[in-house]
């Protein structure tokens, strides 16, 4: 599956100026009429190609949403308040953005008879009761953010059943890549910043906790596949199937940046998930999803600032993988 398979469509990307959304917009733009709805609270206009139609507004503003969604074939719903800790501090406010507004998106999609690809999260599993965690595992989210993503994920699937709306929920594991920045951006961008500045690399806890880090270009790939699959009304794990410890990550980033930063240990994060790793067999089998960027290569490309080949080039499958470089 490549982005060329989605052609001549009118699509809306909510949160299209953000980290994941803007990479998706870039992949879609050459062959489609792309609209972005974003309030630029964390996204950046500079990430958007020129020929994109931008509606500046909140995802929870029905007028802005209506305007942005008029006549679209597909809505990629990425707008969210992504900070787990902010959701703990302000559960109602994050619920408004992550759930109330998501319901508006689903309702708007019904009006337009548009497919919805919704950004769900590994947060739906809470502390997973099996590893790797499959889509049928227990869902016991540990934060308001996780509860909101689980509700969105379930609403999306039930809308397929109840209203015959084409929906797909993608449960992202730990996403990383270019443009991920800011206080809620995740451990890879934090460690990279620390290593580059020669400051201590701060591991929270013993560093033996593990995560499944998935490159944003692979997340884009999954979105493009979700846009055309016949297997709607389903949720899919999107990760790599490989777990990496935070200690190993710190060492990898230190080596990749040739940094002299010391690696130090701080207190563990309260409520931290010990291990998280995706069983991606359903996405592989049903969507044809195949993660193409290994962690070392992904980090290397971030350090070098090299661009990954666009998703619609057949050569990407051959040229990306462990041991290859991007140039």
Residues binding ligand UD2 (CB under 6 A): 82, 84, 121-123, 174-175, 186-187, 190, 202-204, 209, 211, 246, 269, 272-273, 276
Q: Is 50 helix (H, G, I), strand (E, B) or coil?
A: coil
Q: Give residue 28's Cα distance to chain centre.
A: 16
State in angstroms the smallest separation of the CB of 280 from ligand UD2. 16
- Cβ neighbours of residue 193 under 8 Å, at least 6 residues apart? none
Q: What is the CA radius of gyration of the chain?
A: 19
Contact 198, 145 (CB under 8 A): no
Nearer to ligand UD2, 183 or 323 (CB): 183
Nearer to ligand UD2, 86 or 157 (CB): 86
Q: Are strands 33-38 and 210-211 parallel, antiparallel or unpaired?
A: unpaired
Tokens of 85: 């800790």
Among residues 47, 125, 145, 176, the one annotated as catalytic is 145
What is d(CA 152, CA 117) in angstroms, rounded to the nearest whole number? 11
State in angstroms the smallest separation of the CB of 203 from ligand UD2. 4
Instruction: Provide the 8-state DSSP code for 269.
Output: P
For ligand UD2, which residue has the nearest CB? 186
State in angstroms the smallest separation of the CB of 29 from ligand UD2. 25
145 is catalytic: yes
Nearer to ligand UD2, 52 or 201 (CB): 201
Tokens of 206: 């013993």
Instruction: Provide the 8-state DSSP code for 135.
Output: T
Nearer to ligand UD2, 190 or 319 (CB): 190
State in angstroms the smallest separation of the CB of 201 from ligand UD2. 8
State in angstroms the smallest separation of the CB of 23 from ligand UD2. 15
Q: Which residues pair with 319 in a beta bridge?
A: none
Containing 21, the helix (H) or strand (E) segment is: helix 19-28
Q: Which residues pair with 121 in a beta bridge?
A: 172
Nearer to ligand UD2, 108 or 185 (CB): 185
Report, as residue numbers or ranges, the catalytic residues. 145
């Amino acid at each position: 599956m490549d982005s060329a398979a989605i052609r001549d469509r009118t699509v809306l990307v909510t949160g299209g100026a953000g980290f994941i959304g803007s990479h998706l917009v870039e992949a879609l733009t050459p062959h489609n009429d792309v609209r972005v709805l974003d309030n630029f609270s964390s996204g950046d206009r500079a990430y958007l190609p020129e020929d994109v139609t931008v509606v500046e507004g909140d995802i929870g503003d029905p007028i802005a949403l209506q305007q942005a969604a008029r006549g679209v074939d597909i809505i990629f719903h990425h707008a969210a308040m992504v900070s787990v800790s902010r959701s703990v501090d302000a559960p109602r406010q994050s619920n408004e953005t992550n759930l109330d507004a998501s319901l508006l998106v689903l309702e708007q999609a019904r009006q337009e008879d548009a497919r919805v690809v919704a950004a769900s999260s590994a947060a739906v599993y809470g502390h997973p009761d099996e590893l790797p965690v499959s889509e049928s595992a227990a869902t016991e989210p540990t934060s308001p953010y996780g509860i909101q993503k689980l509700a969105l994920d379930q609403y999306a699937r039930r809308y397929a059943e109840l209203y015959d709306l084409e929906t797909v929920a993608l449960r992202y594991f730990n996403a990383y890549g270019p443009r991920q920045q800011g206080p809620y951006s995740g451990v890879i961008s934090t460690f990279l910043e620390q290593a580059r500045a020669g400051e201590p690399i701060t591991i929270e806890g013993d560093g033996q906790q593990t995560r499944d880090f998935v490159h944003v270009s692979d997340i884009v790939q999954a979105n493009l596949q979700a846009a055309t699959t016949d297997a709607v009304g389903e949720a899919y794990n999107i990760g790599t199937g490989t777990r990496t410890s935070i200690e190993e990550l710190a060492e990898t980033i230190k080596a990749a940046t040739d940094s002299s930063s010391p690696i130090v240990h701080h207190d563990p994060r309260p409520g931290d998930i010990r291990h998280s790793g995706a069983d991606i067999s359903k996405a592989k089998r049903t969507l044809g999803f195949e993660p193409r960027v290994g962690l070392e290569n992904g980090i290397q490309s971030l350090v070098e600032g090299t661009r990954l080949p666009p998703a619609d080039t057949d050569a990407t499958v051959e040229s990306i993988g462990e041991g290859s470089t991007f140039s």
